[in-house]
């Protein structure tokens, strides 16, 4: 049995297989997941696990050089936006409108669906390198 880190086998495998600039999405429970993109569904019930809890866990193992959020997150969910920004400190930030965000999810290696039920609680993480 794995002793530390992410114990969800799909998540652990996903992160270990990422290369530089590959993307993954942490999504709220309502974000549509494009056909053909791997879905890792963590949602157990409304709010569990939450977006921030999931982001924090993934950041323990994933090197992120850039992230993308929807412009709407800044206005419709400013507290979550600020918390995300703090957690991703040091990574380059980018934002696009929500429709363009959904188009970008088509290129992701996977979408991780959480139980989050607040507006625009989604982020695209772009993998960096540790050297």
Contacts within 8 Å (CB) and 24+ apart, 14-19: 14/38, 14/40, 14/109, 14/110, 15/58, 15/61, 15/62, 17/109, 18/62, 18/109, 18/127, 19/127
Q: Is 8 annotated as a binding residue?
A: no
Q: Is 97 annotated as a binding residue?
A: no
Phi, psi of 48 (to 5 degrees): -125, 125
- 126 has catalytic annotation: no
Rounded CA-CA distance 91/74 in Å is: 17
Q: Is 70 annotated as a binding residue?
A: no
Q: Which of 7, 16, 17, 20 is catalytic?
A: 20
Binding-site positions: 28, 98, 120-122
Q: Which residues are annotated binding-site positions for substrate?
A: 28, 98, 120-122
Q: Which residues are catalytic?
A: 20
């Amino acid at each position: 049995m794995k002793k530390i880190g992410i114990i969800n086998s799909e998540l652990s495998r996903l992160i270990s297989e990422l290369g530089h600039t590959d993307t993954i999405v942490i999504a709220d429970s309502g974000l549509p997941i494009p056909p053909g993109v791997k879905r890792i569904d963590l949602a157990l019930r409304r709010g569990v696990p939450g977006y921030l809890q999931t982001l924090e866990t993934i950041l323990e193992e994933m090197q992120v050089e850039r992230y993308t959020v929807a412009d709407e997150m800044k206005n419709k969910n400013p507290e979550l936006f600020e918390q995300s920004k703090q957690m991703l400190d040091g990574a380059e930030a980018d934002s696009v409108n929500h429709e363009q965000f959904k188009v970008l999810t088509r290129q992701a290696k996977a979408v991780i669906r959480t139980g989050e039920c607040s507006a625009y609680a989604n982020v695209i993480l772009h993998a960096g390198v540790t050297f």
